[in-house]
Each structure stands twice: as C-alpha cells, then as structure tokens.
Amino acid sequence: MTTTTAVPCRDAVRRSYLLCPPTYFAVEYAINPWMDPSGPVDTGAALRQWQTLRDTLRELGHQVETLPPRPRLPDMVFAANGASVVDGRVLVARFRHPERAPEAAAHRTWFRRAGYRPMAAQLPNEGQGDFLPVGGRVLAGSGPRTSAAAHREAEAALGRRVVSLRLTDPRYYHLDTALAVLSEDQVMYYPAAFTPESNRTLHALFPRAILATDQDAAVLGLNAISDGRHVLLTEAAHGLAARLHAEGFVPIGVRLPELLKAGGGPKCCALELHQAPRERP
Ligand code: ARG
C-alpha cells in the first residue's frame, strides 16, 4: 500500500506592484555587509535583469506601476523599502541612512498622484522591507533599519495588529531578507536570523513554515515575491525551490546578480500595492 501526502492546490491572486528601474543603480556607499563600493557594477546589465523581473510579473497577470527613478539615488530600484502599503493605507518610509532618505519624497509624490493619502513616519522605518502583511496581521522586523518603536507607529497608521520580530544578523538587515510571505497562512524563513523569542513567535503562528538552510539564506533566497501560487526567487536557492515545489507552489527562478551587489533581490524591487480584500478584482 502506498500513502500519498496531499499537496494543497494553490491559487494565484492578481496583484499590483510598484517598481522603479535601476537607471541610476550603482554601489557608491556601504550600508549593509553585501555592498562593496570598490567592486565593479554593470548598470546596463542591472537594467536588463530588472526588465526580465518586470516582464515576468506582467506575464503572470500582475499589474506593474512605475516609479520614475531619480539621479543620485542608486538604491531607488529597491522600491519596496519606500513605503508600507496595507489594505490601501500608505505609510511612507523614513530611511535610516541619509544616503537613501530622499527616496521617501519620491514615494510620497507617486502615492499622492496615484490617489492615495500617504502618511509620514516619524520613526526610522524602511517600508515593506520590514513590514509584511499576512493573515490579518503585519509581520514587522526590527534591527539595523526599522526600530521596534516604529512598529507601534505603523500599527496605528496601518490599522492592523503588528507582530514584532527581532533580526540579529547584519547580513539579514530587513525582514524581507530573512522571511517571505507565501500565502495568507504560509511563510518561509531563516531561523538563525531571528532571536529565540522571535523564533517562538514564528513557530506559534506558522507551525508548518518552510525553513531555509544557511546556503539558501546566503544567496538571498528568502527575498521572494509570491502571489499565493508562483514564487519568484533567485535561481541559486535550489533547496527552497524544491521545498516550495513539494508544498504545491510554483517556484520561478530569477537572476538579479547586479542588484545582489547592493544586497537586494526580487522582493525588494517590488512594492506590493496591497489592497483591502474587498477591493481586489
Ligand atoms: N542597498 C540597499 C540598502 O541597503 C538594499 C536594499 C534591499 N532591500 C531589501 N528589502 N532587502 O538599503
């Protein structure tokens, strides 16, 4: 007799994302351990790799909006860091480092023009890099960028319960480098990037979560975009791709080696314009 484990059927949800082309991408300063300003960067290659990511999102049926890039803001391609968007509410980021601080004004302008009412943050807060909505709550990272006090500010602004998670490893400086939301009840994460207490919190919320190996975390495999079915992640994350496949997700390998030199992957390029469920088509 053979026993088969039921693999859940996963449905994709059509989403909208805000992306910013890496027109002025460079590694000119080091604000995370991945960045080496003395190394070579090919901006043309970065643009081509980013275009493939954008086209893949469109081919999957998602809507992609464009944030106009601004000169002298080489990290602006990481649009997910510029704001938190939850149920159509927008809290614009307040960047920790002065090098990225002016990006917030570009986000505020875009959201205003798009008909949102963007709110300003008083405390350091790096948007969807550290705030990820899932299952009626928002998971929030604190560490080198977003402060724990900023979680309370975000809770009031976004109107959802915020669950605080503490990051411990400088390589995983944003929540979205150490954890990805896959569906409304499933996540994948790297336990070694969180404190023991945060691991207990995550285990209680997601007892069946996919756990990343050291190797998959070290290629930024957790910086992934999921629509509930398709999961776009770096093609170097072989272990995670196999686990995702076994769980009924469809992993799609993407290549962003130039952007990795700044410490970013697919997820930080795509700010999800998260709408309240009733507003979804
Ligand atoms: N160089 C950028 C920074 O350090 C990379 C940001 C990537 N974003 C992310 N959510 N991981 O701010």
Cα 278 to averaged position of ligand 1 atoms, centre (Å) = 31
Q: What do you get for the CA distance between the two ends of the chain, in Å?
A: 45
Residue nearest to atom 1 of ligand 1 (CA): 262
Question: If you measure from the C-alpha of residue 102 to the centroid of ligand 1, how many angstroms do you get, rounded to a whole number?
Answer: 15
pLDDT level of residue 5 (50, 70, 90 thresholds): low
CA distance 270 to 54: 9
From ligand 1's centre to the CA of 42, what distance in Å? 18
Residue 3 confidence (pLDDT) above 70 = no
Percentage of the residues of the chain whose pLDDT score is greater than 70: 96
CA distance 111 to 163: 26
**Tokens at residue 253, please?**
């390998």
Rounded Cα–Cα distance for residues 245 and 129 (Å): 25
- In the residue annotation, 269 being an active-site residue is answered as no
User: Most distant CA pair in the chain: distance in Å?
Assistant: 65
Q: Is 268 marked active-site?
A: yes
Task: Count Cβ atoms below 10 Å from residue 261 Cβ, excluding itself.
Answer: 20
Of ligand 1's listed atoms, the one at least distance from the Cα of 27 is 1
Kindly give, in sequence order, each residue whose CB lies less than 8 Å from that of residue 230, ignoring residues fewer than 6 positions away: 12, 60, 249, 250, 252
What rounded mean pLDDT belongs to the chain? 95
Q: Which of 174, 230, 269, 274 is catalytic?
A: 174
**Ligand 1 neighbour 272 (Cβ under 6 A):** no
Q: What is the 3-state secondary structure (H, E, C) of 101-118?
A: CCHHHHHHHHHHHCCCCC
Closest residue to atom 9 of ligand 1, CA basis = 268
Distance 78 CA to ligand 1 centre (A): 6
Q: pLDDT tens digits for 216-275?
A: 999 999 999 999 999 999 999 999 999 999 999 999 999 999 999 999 999 999 999 999
CA distance 59 to 45: 21
81 touches ligand 1 (CB under 6 Å) = yes
Read off the pLDDT of residues 194-206 as tens digits, 9 standing for 90 and up. Answer: 999 999 999 999 9
CB atoms inside a 10 Å sphere around CB 59 = 10
| Domains in the chain: boundaries | 16-279
Which position among 62, 151, 268, 269 bears the catalytic label? Answer: 268
Cα separation, 21 vs 54, whole angstroms = 9
Residue 263 region by backbone torsions, left for phi larger than 0, else alpha for psi between -120 and 50, else beta: left
Superfamily for the 16-279 domain: L-arginine/glycine Amidinotransferase; Chain A (3.75.10.10)
pLDDT digits over 21-65, tens only? Answer: 999 999 999 999 999 999 999 999 999 999 999 999 999 999 999
Q: Which residue has the tokens 């081919």?
A: 59
Q: 174: Cβ below 6 Å to ligand 1?
A: yes
Average pLDDT for 11-19: 96
Would you say how long the chain is, in residues? 281
Tokens of 98: 């002065």
Q: Quick one: CA dihedral 146, 26, 92, 18, positive or negative? A: negative
Helix, strand, coil % in the chain, rounded to nearest 5: 30, 20, 45
Global pTM reads 0.95
